[in-house]
Amino acid sequence: MDLLGVDTGGTFTDFVHFDGVSLVVHKVLSTPEAPERAILQGIQELGLLPQLEQLTVIHGSTVATNAVLEGKGVRTVYIGNRGLADLLTIGRQARSRLYDLAPRLPPLPVPPELCLESGGRLAADGAVVEPLTASELAELVAAVSRLAPRAVAINLLFSFRDDRFERAIAEALPAGLFISRSSVVLPEYREYERGIATWLNAWVGPLVEGYLQRLADALTGARVQVMQSAGTTIAARQAGTAAVRLLLSGPAGGLAGAAHIAQVTDCGALLTFDMGGTSTDVALVDGRPALTSEGQIGPWPVAVAQVDMHTIGAGGGSIARIDGGGMLQVGPESAGASPGPACYGRGGVEPTVTDANLVLGRLRADRFLGGAMALEPAAARAALEPIAQALGGSIEDAALGVVAVANEHMARALRVMSVRRGVDPRTLTLACFGGAGGLHVCALAEALGMTRALVPIHAGVLSALGMLAARRGRHLSRTVGGRLAEQPAEGLMQGFAELEREGRAALSEEGVAEAAVEVQRSLDLRYAGQSYTLEVAWAGVAESVAAFHRSHAERYGHQLDLPVELVNLRLVVEGPDSGFALTPLADLPTPQPTWGEAVGSGPVAIWERELLPAGFTLVGPALITERVATIWLDPGWQATIDPSGNLLLVRLP
């Protein structure tokens, strides 16, 4: 077993190498213009180039995410049924700001000149309403050739019932185009959401495909897997055609890692926050990460299965400024990897959260990245000085203000995923990861009234570590429709069997043995007349109806005496466990701290995390430094090292 997890972030690219016995972690600055360059640099620095043929690389990619957020997809033609060419432009007509009388129009997904119409229309029951003639197909192909796109998205009505017309169009189009069919990408009802998913897949698919091909060529001999948004992995050679399923690739790795650590530590349900250089992702993990099919990226809905999380623009690189009203603001703009925070000494001059933590003594200039990268305190102070002058205080006061504002942004995000969902955060354990998470974990726990926190081992690279624990898998779905009580169980099992054959075939192509595949079946259900669904595990018709009533009562506080409708069948196929496991800490002698100063806390003990033995306990204020992160232990908090090296934090009475 030789596994390498790689997570490409906005500021750093993280590596975790597991050879079956021990772990080695590493970080390099990201190269956003060519992400594979940073990956190759890290692999070379880890000394793994000579052993690529024995290596399995599991990669979390931001290529699809960045392309969507920056609006840098390829030229794409959208094909819909006659009269529905502007479907994606009309959308749901929802307003993001309800009382704004002059709202700014969102960007058009596809320009009108690239939207084409076609026959081949089906009714809701699958009957043909309008055929697709040979002459019409020829005209469509000629129009596509004239427009010269790189990709084509095909989204015909009710194609999830019968995909013959979508297949006919795809087969007739010129070779060399990246073609995305809704009946493959998302065979579910709701033509707008299905259309957006199909267009996103086509819009960024060639970019993802090209990037993964360049990476595979550079890593010749290695087996390359890519993390999917739902927390399972897919072979790189298959991932290029499934770009829309990679939009939360990196964050999904972090949640897979958090779930793995939760099992090891027996911490129960977690409220997690992943704070990197650019953003913070917040989620709930109870056994395994929760999934949703109602996600969003930028202004677009993403209806494919993905981890359920809330993201805000608050990270170590978030830029602080004084707004027009004289108020201190932090983020969402970020200094990124280049030039980065001022203290990186790479040309950055704007103050960031990282600069504030350095000024406060919560980062050590000589121990950043284990001493591999020296920070410049003078540059951090110079960047914060304009903030201090505007606020009429000292540079230290300005730094405290920057950290406080950033903490409030993150606390608000944590409440979105807990309090607003009816979950009391005081019953959960706050788990932090990402390079900057450990600096804020105690303050955020106190803001939510929480008394327990967890800082996993290698928390600064947990997304990369989680990729080692992830299984290969596929998440499949299909719209069925009708009242559940009227559906014969045999018919539902036949539908599940068709999805299972598709999923098993995909895993078989990756070399997963038939006997090693695990299958989970579920249903999307709703009361008659409702628009939204709840997912319940399949346990038979009557049992699933009863489970839906209970789930509705838990979520909304009531249940109704109405028929239960079936909307979608869902099925997950997963390969075997990767075999990755944390190794127990070696016996270590009792460590001794060094000492430093922190603003507002006076003298603080500074501990090297790699030297802390299992069972060792320390109290705040303290700094715990490690190769890929720093943890700030506030006064009134106690930390204990568990046998695997995880830090268990408790608020002292």
What pLDDT was estimated at residue 271? 95
- 327 pLDDT higher than 80: yes
CB 545 within 8 Å of CB 538: no
* Fold exhibited by the domain 3-68+209-250: Nucleotidyltransferase; domain 5 (3.30.420)
pTM: 0.87
What pLDDT was estimated at residue 498? 96
pLDDT digits (tens, 9 = 90+) for 266-287: 888 999 998 877 788 899 998 8
Q: How confident is the model at residue 337 (pLDDT cuts 50, 70, 90)?
A: low
Kindly report the number of other CB atoms within 10 A of residue 326's CB atom: 8
Q: What is the rounded average pLDDT of the residues 590-598?
A: 90
Angle between helices 191-218 and 35-45 (to 10 degrees): 40
Q: What is the rounded average pLDDT of the residues 182-190?
A: 95
pLDDT digits (tens, 9 = 90+) for 3-55: 999 998 777 899 999 988 888 888 888 888 888 899 999 999 999 988 899 99
pLDDT digits (tens, 9 = 90+) for 45-80: 999 988 899 999 999 988 888 888 788 899 999 999
Q: How far is CA 388 from CA 385, 397, 398, 402, in A?
A: 5, 7, 5, 10
- 94 pLDDT higher than 90: no
d(CA 454, CA 646): 7
Q: How confident is the model at residue 430 (pLDDT cuts 50, 70, 90)?
A: very high
What pLDDT was estimated at residue 203? 96
Per-domain boundaries in the chain: 3-68+209-250, 69-208, 472-574, 594-651
CB 607 within 8 Å of CB 601: no
From its phi and psi, is residue 369 left (phi > 0), alpha (psi between -120 and 50) or beta?
Answer: left
What strand order describes the sheet that includes 622-625? 594-598, 602-608, 622-625, 630-633
Helices (DSSP H) in 102-225: which residue ranges? 134-147, 164-172, 182-185, 191-218
Question: Residue 430: phi, psi to the nearest 5?
Answer: -85, 120
pLDDT digits (tens, 9 = 90+) for 530-560: 988 999 999 999 999 999 999 999 888 899 9
Type of residue found at 287:
G
What pLDDT was estimated at residue 366? 83
Q: How confident is the model at residue 572 (pLDDT cuts 50, 70, 90)?
A: very high
* Fold exhibited by the domain 472-574: Dna Ligase; domain 1 (3.30.1490)
What pLDDT was estimated at residue 370? 67
- 288 pLDDT higher than 90: no
Q: Looking at domain 69-208, does it have CATH number 3.40.50? A: yes
> What's the whole-number average pLDDT of the chain?
91
What pLDDT was estimated at residue 353? 94
Percentage of the residues of the chain whose pLDDT score is greater than 90 = 69
Least confident of 259-263, 369-373, 591-595: 369-373
pLDDT digits (tens, 9 = 90+) for 497-543: 999 999 999 999 999 999 999 999 999 999 999 988 999 999 999 99
pLDDT digits (tens, 9 = 90+) for 116-138: 999 999 999 999 999 999 999 99
- 418 pLDDT higher than 70: yes
The three-state (H, E, C) secondary structure of 266-315, written as one string? CCCCEEEEEECCCCEEEEEEECEECEECCEEECCEEECCCEECEEEECCC
**Which of 318, 343, 289 shows the shortest CA–CA distance to 408?**
318
Q: How far is CA 268 from CA 26, 79, 263, 544, in A?
A: 29, 48, 8, 26
- 564 pLDDT higher than 80: yes
Q: How confident is the model at residue 312 (pLDDT cuts 50, 70, 90)?
A: confident
- 442 pLDDT higher than 90: yes
Q: How far is CA 371 from CA 32, 367, 626, in A?
A: 24, 4, 9
Percentage of the residues of the chain whose pLDDT score is greater than 70 = 99
Q: What is the rounded average pLDDT of the residues 353-369?
A: 88
